[in-house]
Structure 1
Amino acid sequence: MTAKVLIIATNGFEQSELMQPRANVEKAGFETVLASPESGSIKGWDQKDWGESVDVDISLDDVDVDDYAALLLPGGQMNPDILRMDDRVIDIIEEFDNADKPIASICHAPWLLAEADIIDGRTITGWPSIRTDLENAGADVVDQEVAEDGNLITSRNPDDIPAFSEALIARLRALSGSEEEEMSDSVA
């Protein structure tokens, strides 16, 4: 059975940070499922204006963490700021962390990890404007493409998407027992 990656997002997600990692994960042979507080579709933010809409696959209430190998949290300023006020989102993040399943979070999305209170004493990165928030939550914040600490994979911005995707795909392959492959050509 193909490993599934849960993606949680809402309106205002950074378009590149959902679309590109999702495409990379699917190209690597893994299934993705998009959950949201909204039903129907949600609209991305593409740099300076609204972008494309994507269909929501399931509601947050229908998420069973046992069905997924990993969690992907795209950033954008609006998306995680809205989601961190949703108790169900925070519960899901805590459940993934308690199960020691990979949680990949980029840009502003590490705000969600701080809200879930799972970054104290852990090394992570994120968008520059949230780094003080992450430090205040107890994280050791670094400025690098990808920071991996235990089950957490974090990146700073859209420029980091190739390395971010490679890190998540490597974890998924390790979990599923797949042989490591050179991914630089397969990740955009």
Structure 2
Amino acid sequence: MKKIVSLLLSVVLLNIVCPVVVFAEDIFDYGNSSTAIIEAPEVVEDIETIDNNHFKFISSEGNISDIFVNDQGDVYVDGKLEMTHQQALLMFEIRKSVSNIGTERSSATWHYLDTYSYDIDFQNRTKSVMLGVISLVVPILSPAIGIGGILDDLFSQKAPGMYITVNRYYKAGYQYYKYVYHFYSDANRKQHVAMREEIKKMW
């Protein structure tokens, strides 16, 4: 699993600033996270980390699915192979853009850093598989965001995928980072589904 996380992190965090790399090692350790949620999710769902390869997905209805990701990056749900590593790599596209670095866009205390765009193709996969893929592809997205409820909305709309834009901001001293997530049901990002904000303390 560490090889897969390293591979995905190298793709996701390519050319990204150092403070994010500092907390990348805590991607699967949300219990010690200093994450603060500004907007609480409406649907409570969770991915519980058992170890580096084993996870449990707990749905809002209380159903539990065992997720296993082997060292090659293949994803198994309840013992059944749901997705190979190669299939997972074909499911997403990541882009980074930077504009007006150093200017203040959100308030006098937050400074704009950059924007990441994630296009994740559902490819008729189940919700538990998608949650596993999203947690690997978007490492800065914590379970407390309520991604399960957003997936429910997208599945009910028969959306072809999940399209995420993440704007990052920082405070002077780089100790605090704010992530503003916008979720869309279309690749053109015209159909807005949800917005979430999260603050991360780096040290």
* Structure 1 and Structure 2 fold alike (TM over 0.5): no
- Between Structure 1 and Structure 2, which shows a larger proportion of helix residues? 1
Structure possessing the higher radius of gyration over alpha carbons: 2
- Considering fraction of residues, name the structure with more strand: 2
Q: TM-score by structure 2 length?
A: 0.28
